[in-house]
Amino acid sequence: MSSPDLTQRHQKLAQVMKKQGLDALALNPGPSLPYLTGLHFHMSERPVVVFFSIDQAPIIVLPGLEALKVQDLPYQIQAFPYDENPANWVKAFQDAIQAGGFEKSRIGVEPRALRVLELNFLEEAAPQAQFISGEAAVAELRMRKDADEVAAMRKAAEIAQAALQAALPKIKPGVTERQIATELIMQLLRHGSQSRIPFSPIVSGGPNSANPHASPTDRKLAPGDLLVIDWGANVKGYFSDITRTFAIGEVDPELKHIAEIVRKANAAGHSCVEPGIPAGQVDDAARTVINEAGYGEYFTHRTGHGLGLEGHEEPYIRSDNQMHLEVGMSFTIEPGIYLPGRGGVRIEDDVVVTRNGIESLTDLPRELILLEA
C-alpha cells in the first residue's frame, strides 16, 4: 500500500480511538494488521503484536528473524525484536509498553483474533493496564470500503462465478459432494483466486442441503436432489462469498416453490438497500417474504453479514441491528429455507452500498438452476 493510504488509515484510527476512549490498540496477525500496516505475518508460536496510539508512531514486538520486514517502511515504526529464547520475550513486550507509555492505559484488542499467548505477554508486561475490546474501533474503519477495496471484491466475485461455470459440467448424478468441492477449488485457483480461499466450499445435496453449514461428504448426487453450493474467491486479501441452488433433474414441486420464495426474498433484500437505513431493515424485508409464504420457521439464520478482508465481519444483517448503512459498506444478502430431511435453498449475493442505493457484485442467475439428471 502507498504511504498516503496507510497514513490516512492511521489518522482515522487515532480519531476513532479517541472517540471510543482507547489509549492504544494492540493487534496480532490477522486481517486488521495488514489493513493498517501493509505487513503480513503468519500466526505462529512466535508472538507478533503492533501497538497503535493516538499521538505517536506504531510500535511492534516481533521475532528477530522477521525484523527485516519493518525496515524501509513508508511510515515510522519502532521495533522491539526478540531472540529465540522464550524466556526473553516478555522483556521485548515490557520495553514496547514502556516506550509507548502504556503501563496504565486502556488498550483495545480484537477478541476474535487475540490468543491467550499474546494476552499473557501483554498482561505480564503491563499488569496495571486494562485490556478491553477494540473490535468496534477497527470495524468502524474496515466497514467502509474505498474504491480499490471494492474493485478487489468485484474481481473476487468475477473469479468465483467463472470458476463455478467451469465446474458445472462435472456436476451430474453419481458425483459426490466432495468431488464437486475439489473441482471447484481447483477452478478457483485456475481462474485467479489467491490460494487462501475464504472458506472450504459448502457443497450439499439432497437432505444434506437442509443444513446451512454442511461439510461436503461422499454422498453421491441423485436425480431429484437440490444442490446448494456456497463458495468464494480471494483477490488481494478481499473475499467473495456466493451461494446458488441447483436442481438435479426434476425436483419435488414444493422444493421448486421454496426456491421461488427465496428468490423473491433475496430480491426484497436488494430492493430496500440505500444509505441511511438500519441494517436490520434488510433482514426484515427478506424475512417478511418468507414469513408471509408460511416458511418462517425454516429460515434459521440472519439475512447476511459484512464481507471484506474476512468472510464474516461488520455489519451483520440481522433484524435487531440498528446500525445505519453507509456508502462503502459491503455485505451479503442470503435468505434461505431449509426443510429437514428433504432439502434446502439459499441464494447469496455480495453487495456494496452506493450513493444511489446498491451495487451487486454478483450476477449469476438467482432462479433455481436446472442441471440435467
Least confident range of 1-5, 62-66, 328-332: 1-5
- Whether residue 373 is predicted with pLDDT greater than 90 in this model: the reply is no
Residues in the chain: 373
Which of 198, 232, 230 lies closest to 213, judged by CA?
Answer: 230
Instruction: Using CA atoms of 237, 243, 249, 255 in order, give the dihedral in degrees to the nearest 10.
Output: 170
343 pLDDT tier (thresholds 50, 70, 90): very high
Residues 151 and 138 in one domain: no
Beta strands in the chain (DSSP E): 24-27, 49-53, 59-63, 78-82, 106-109, 130-133, 202-205, 226-231, 234-235, 238-239, 242-248, 304-306, 313-317, 330-333, 336-339, 343-346, 349-354, 357-360, 369-371
Q: Give yes or no: residues 67 and 156 share one domain.
A: no
Q: Are residues 169 and 262 in the same domain?
A: yes
- Residue 1 pLDDT > 70, yes or no? no
> Does position 52 have pLDDT exceeding 70, yes or no?
yes
* Statement to judge: residues 157 and 126 lie in one domain: no
Cell 486488521, residue located: 32
Residues 6+ apart with CB under 8 A from 286: 265, 266, 268, 269, 303, 333, 335
113 and 158 in one domain? no
Other Cβ atoms closer than 10 A to 371? 16
Identify whether residues 177 and 137 lie together within a single domain. no
Above 70 in pLDDT, residue 47? yes
Q: Tell me the CATH number at 40.
A: 3.40.350.10
**Whole-model pTM over 0.85:** yes
* Host domain of residue 42: 3-142
154-168 average pLDDT score: 98
Question: Contact, 290 vs 260, CB < 8 A?
Answer: no
Domain boundary among 119, 142, 165: 142
* Domain end call among 127, 142, 157: 142
Q: Is the peptide bond before 201 cis (omega within 30 degrees of 0)?
A: no
* Same-domain status, 138 and 155: no
Are 9 and 42 members of one domain?
Answer: yes
Q: What is the CATH number of the domain that holds 207?
A: 3.90.230.10
Residue 38: per-residue pLDDT: 93
Would you call 218 helix, strand, or coil by DSSP?
coil
The pLDDT tens digits for 76-104 are 999 999 999 999 999 999 999 999 999 99
Is 81 in contact with 67 (CB distance < 8 Å)?
Answer: yes
Q: Which three cell numbers stand for residue 308?
A: 471484506
Give the separation between CA 146 and CA 38, rounded to whole angstroms. Answer: 16
Q: Quick one: average pLDDT of 18-44? A: 95
Predicted local distance difference test score (pLDDT) of residue 112: 92
Give percent of the chain above pLDDT 90: 97
- Final residue before a domain boundary, out of 108, 142, 176: 142
How far apart are alpha carbons 55 and 319 in whole angstroms?
38
Closest CA to 345 of 248, 209, 251: 209
Give pLDDT tens digits for 277-320: 999 999 999 999 999 999 999 999 999 999 999 999 999 999 99
Q: What is the mean pLDDT of residues 3-29?
A: 93
Same domain for 11 and 44? Answer: yes
Residue 106 pLDDT greater than 70, yes or no: yes
327 and 209 part of one domain: yes
* pLDDT of residue 248 exceeding 90: yes
User: Are the beta carbons of 228 and 243 closer than 8 angstroms?
Assistant: yes
Quick check: 59 pLDDT over 70? yes
For residue 138, is pLDDT > 70? Answer: yes
Residues 134, 210, single domain; the answer is no
* Shared-domain flag, residues 64 and 123: yes
Q: How many domains does the chain have?
A: 2
Mean pLDDT over each residue of the chain, to the nearest integer: 96
Burial class (CB in 10 A: 0-12, 13-18, 19+), 95: middle
